[in-house]
Structure 1
Amino acid sequence: MPRRSADGYDLVAIALHWLIAVLILGLLVLGFVMTRQSIDPALQFQLFQWHKSFGMLALLLAAVRLVRSLAVVRVKPAEGLGALERRAAHGMHYLLLTLAVAVPLAGWMVASASPLEIPTFAFNLVVIPHLPVPKSEAAEAWWTTVHAVLAYSTLALVFLHSAAALYHHYVRHDDVLTRMLGSRHRTVKTSIEEPGP
């Protein structure tokens, strides 16, 4: 299928971007709170369930955003960026999207590898099945570490990404940030890009 090339982000991309961003930050905060030793066990169970529910939603939205970015719409770099800046922006974009998929996927692996086999009640509506992986305390501990390392790496990159966007907005005065904010007065021009050989 031909891939569309756009000068800016459409409403779908903008909505996905901010929804995923809010989910990631909320999940990081929730993950910190729910692992406190002093928390009530009943409340902790509920927080874990909400963490897993929103994590599944983040996984779904991030996967859609990643596939859409890779196969459907290619957004042209902002004007005024040098070659190195373009490569850095491109790399950061896909690294963050990959982590947005990998972090909840690792969390799913934690629940799936746990010998306790606690079910995941997504928003108290449906049970999310566990992945078919071996269950052991060692496997659960390993995936817990992977999940935490990926989550903290994502947090660091989010801060770096945000700082870069603010730098471009307040110091460079370009449209790097405003392109992702959307505007009633901005039109997104698109063209068809045929797939390469």
Structure 2
Amino acid sequence: MGISLQKGQKISLEKEAGSSLTRIIMGLGWDAAQSGKGGFLGGLFGGGGNDSIDLDASCLLFDDLGNLVDTVWFRQLTSRDGSIHHTGDNRTGEGEGDDEQIKVDLTAVPANVKSLVFTVNNYTGQDFSQVANAYCRILNGVNNTEIARYDLSCQGNHSAMIMAKVYRHNGEWKMHAIGEVGQGRTFEELLPQIKPHL
């Protein structure tokens, strides 16, 4: 069982995994929030009902100067070097388990990449309070054990989150749980907010 991440927490992924970590998976899952109670929220978003919710996971690759060198998201499912792969865009949150996954082969991430920043954006624009059971998590990609998890549904009236940074430090991969909420339908709108964390 993984640890529940707290904002600002730093963990050694290798210590949590119990061994040298070679592959990780960022998983994102959610269900559309029930808005069948009538009332204010349903009216705001045009007639209530179970409007589709499309959360998107992205992985941003930065060099040691903080320059964005590549991006893995629904418009580019594999990094140019092939080390990071997105399983595809889920636009409804239907189904069990992770709705989207980004798989990272840490042994193949290019040497000039110092940090990977994982973000979640609500492409359909609703805030997280309307998204039921939303979470993002990091898994050991070798045995699929959960290393760490973040609950998104209690994040309130925000439509995006900078989840975590996975970065090289003294030859091992570590993770900084950022947990900073923001606004934006795609990762580009979060870039000014990400820069101070690099």
TM-score by length of 2: 0.26
Greater per-residue helix proportion: 1
Which one has more relative contact order, counting CA pairs under 8 Å at least 6 apart? 1
Structure with the greater alpha carbon radius of gyration: 1
Q: Please, what TM-score do these two structures have when normalized by structure 1?
A: 0.26
